[in-house]
Amino acid sequence: AQSVTQPDIHITVSEGASLELRCNYSYGATPYLFWYVQSPGQGLQLLLKYFSGDTLVQGIKGFEAEFKRSQSSFNLRKPSVHWSDAAEYFCAVANTRNDMRFGAGTRLTVKP
Amino acid sequence: EAGVTQFPSHSVIEKGQTVTLRCDPISGHDNLYWYRRVMGKEIKFLLHFVKESKQDESGMPNNRFLAERTGGTYSTLKVQPAELEDSGVYFCASRQQGQETQYFGPGTRLLVL
């Protein structure tokens, strides 16, 4: 069965600092991998996705993520965080039938 | 193009009452999904429609939950009777056949008192 682990429940970074949110998955084959963001009062917005090909994927808002098969990881990164990035971030994995499973989420706080 | 919409945005009801949530998918998206996030926990899959048919309802917690998608357009999720543990955020998502990405609505925040 597929599963997703986001080990960090809450992360605080200073504005302008770099960010890395961790995601590990369990799945028998190469899954489809996603990062979604939920800002306060908003729905889930797709940041980026990986299906195949280049393991470093670029997303919206300056985010990127790298798929590492050997580590079963798909960590999300941003070189310089903005105050508007404060939100909750969800990693998700889907199989070929598009059954999607989410991690528990990481809440990001940005200090001025 | 309009995104996925959900109604209501918030609902506060008493234990034992009935609540019906509605989801309007992106036009032309045959696949429609319902998910739920209970406070502080992960977002969990409830069920998946392909057009008007239930493709997978393995995530439905119990028979107090009834989902329908008559006509293969919008979907409703009814909770009857509601219990305290049903509180949470209910998300709907839609996906175009042949594509991998699900697009999510803003969610309905349900509070059962």
User: Which tens digit of pLDDT belongs to each residue from A51-97?
Assistant: 888 899 999 999 999 999 999 999 999 999 999 999 999 999 987 66
User: Which tens digit of pLDDT belongs to each residue from B28-73?
Assistant: 999 999 999 998 788 999 999 999 999 999 899 999 999 999 888 9
Q: B-chain residues within 8 Å CB-CB of A31?
A: none
What is the pLDDT, as a whole number, of residue A97? Answer: 67
Nearest to B100 among A32, A43, A45 (CB): A32
DSSP symbol at B81: S
User: Which tens digit of pLDDT belongs to each residue from B68-86?
Assistant: 998 889 999 999 999 999 9
The per-residue DSSP string of chain A comes to --EEE---SEEEEETTS-EEE--EEE-SSPPEEEEEEE-TT--EEEEEEE-SS-SEEE-GGG-EEEEEGGGTEEEEEESS--GGG-EEEEEEEE-TT--EEE---EEEEEE-
Nearest residue in B to A94, CA atom: B100
Calpha distance A73→A94 (Å, rounded): 14
Calpha distance A45→B40 (Å, rounded): 19
Provide, rounded to the nearest whole percent, the portion of chain B with pLDDT above 90: 85
What is the pLDDT, as a whole number, of residue B70? Answer: 85
Q: A-chain residues within 8 Å CB-CB of B103?
A: 46
Mean pLDDT across A35-48: 89
Interface with chain A: mutation pick from B33, B44, B57, B104, highest number of A CBs within 10 Å: B104
Nearest to A51 among B35, B100, B105 (CB): B100
CB contact under 8 A, B102 and A51: no
Mean pLDDT across A101-109: 94
Nearest to A103 among B42, B95, B106 (CB): B42
Nearest residue in A to B107, CA atom: A43
What is the pLDDT, as a whole number, of residue B99? Answer: 87
Nearest-5° angle of CA A35, CA A36, CA A38? 150
CA distance to partner chain A, nearest, from residue B105 (Å): 6
Q: How confident is the model at residue B98 (pLDDT cuts 50, 70, 90)?
A: confident
Nearest-5° angle of CA A76, CA B47, CA B43? 35
CB contact under 8 A, B42 and A104: yes
pLDDT surpasses 80 at B96: yes
Interchain contact B94–A (C-beta under 8 A): no
